[in-house]
Amino acid sequence: MRTLLNKRKTPGLFICCLIFVFTSLASFSYPAERYTFGIVPQYDQRQLYSIWKPLVAELERQTGLSFRLVTAPKISTFEKEFLKGSYDFAYMNPYHLLKANKAQGYVPIIRDRASLRGILVVRKDSPIKKLSRLNNKVVAFPSPNALGASLLLRADLSELHHLNIVPLYVTSHDSVYLYVVKGLADAGGGVEQTLERQEKPIRDALRILYTSRRIPTHPIAIHPRVPRADAEKVRRAFLEIASTKEGRELLMKIPMKQPISASLDDYTPMIQWGLESFWIEE
């Protein structure tokens, strides 16, 4: 009789074990999908990773998502990648966003409240005091299609000031400032944020000759394949990071002083600026 009872209990015990196993599996936390996070190469790659790796680590902690940080040796390479849709998330310049939106449907989710301006710098001891003196001079730019540091400035020089220049493309903002300091270019294009990030000897050796009109700042943009729920986690995480002193220190290194939610409408007015004629396919 005892043996018969044990046999009758065995199926019930087996079912209970199965329920326990499936319940445990259901509660197991599988690794999140790993997203690519592309960064426009404003600085050299070592500096980019030192800025972004701690920030991306904090994003992972707050969102539960996983990111693979990706950059490129040149801005032109970065452009080819986002036009192909290689990045899930990307930090790009505002005109890049319009190109990326048209090509792949990228949309912005976060940006800095501050605006962006292009600047032309010369050596502090340069005899060039007026913009007109740049006619037929060599001007360094990070790449043809860097918005504030190249596109907008070249458009201003040509269309607003009717100047001819000899453009020299030198890969990054850091390189622009070094070329000017070393006398390898008469002037150079950058943006206020990247000039502020230069080491003091470089900053002190330069003088701002010209400042462009204001534009919205670089956004964090997402490819449409990213689920909206995950995009929302990242948007909220940026705002949350900005709420702490430690988080603000991480964001200042981008620099992104005050993150705010962004939309495509912030950037569409630039379509009317005629910058397309100064875009160079590489």
What is the C-alpha to C-alpha distance for residues 7 and 205, in angstroms, rounded to an integer? 89
Q: Which residues lie across from 39 on neighbouring strands?
A: 91
Domain shared by 262 and 136, yes or no: no
CATH of the domain at 87: 3.40.190.10
Same domain, 51 and 94: yes
Which residue would you say has higher pLDDT here, 274 or 161?
161
CA 25 vs CA 18, 30, 156: distances in Å: 11, 10, 61
Q: State the residue range of the domain holding 124.
A: 115-216
Q: Residue 66: what pLDDT?
A: 97
Percent of the chain clearing pLDDT 70 (strictly above): 88
The CA distance from 117 to 274, in Å, is 17
pLDDT tens digit sequence for 227-271: 999 999 999 999 999 999 999 999 999 989 999 999 999 999 888
Please identify which residue in the block is written with the tokens 């918005």.
Answer: 147
DSSP string, 149-211: IIIHHHHIIIIIT----EEEE-SSHHHHHHHHHTTSSSEEEEEHHHHHTS-HHHHHTEEEEEE
Q: Are residues 110 and 203 in the same domain?
A: no
Farthest CA pair distance, the chain: 109
Q: Is the pLDDT of residue 5 over 50?
A: no
What does the alpha-carbon distance between residue 98 and residue 27 come to, in Å, rounded to a whole number?
42
Q: Which residue has the tokens 């040149």?
A: 74
- Residue that finishes a domain, picked among 216, 243, 263: 216
| Helix 245-252 / helix 45-63 crossing angle, nearest 10 deg | 150
**Residues 51 and 164 both lie in one domain:** no
Q: Which two tokens stand for residue 69?
A: 């940080």
**Residue 106: exposed, middle, or buried by beta-carbon count in 10 A (0-12, 13-18, 19+)?**
buried
Query: How many domains does the chain fold into?
Result: 2
In a domain, 4, yes or no: no
Residues 40 and 88 both lie in one domain: yes
Tens-place pLDDT, residues 56-112: 999 999 999 999 999 998 888 999 999 999 999 999 989 899 999 999 999 999 999
Tokens of 178: 């070094």
- Mean pLDDT for 213-238 is 95
Q: Is residue 173 part of a domain?
A: yes
User: Do 43 and 198 form a contact (C-beta atoms < 8 A)?
Assistant: no
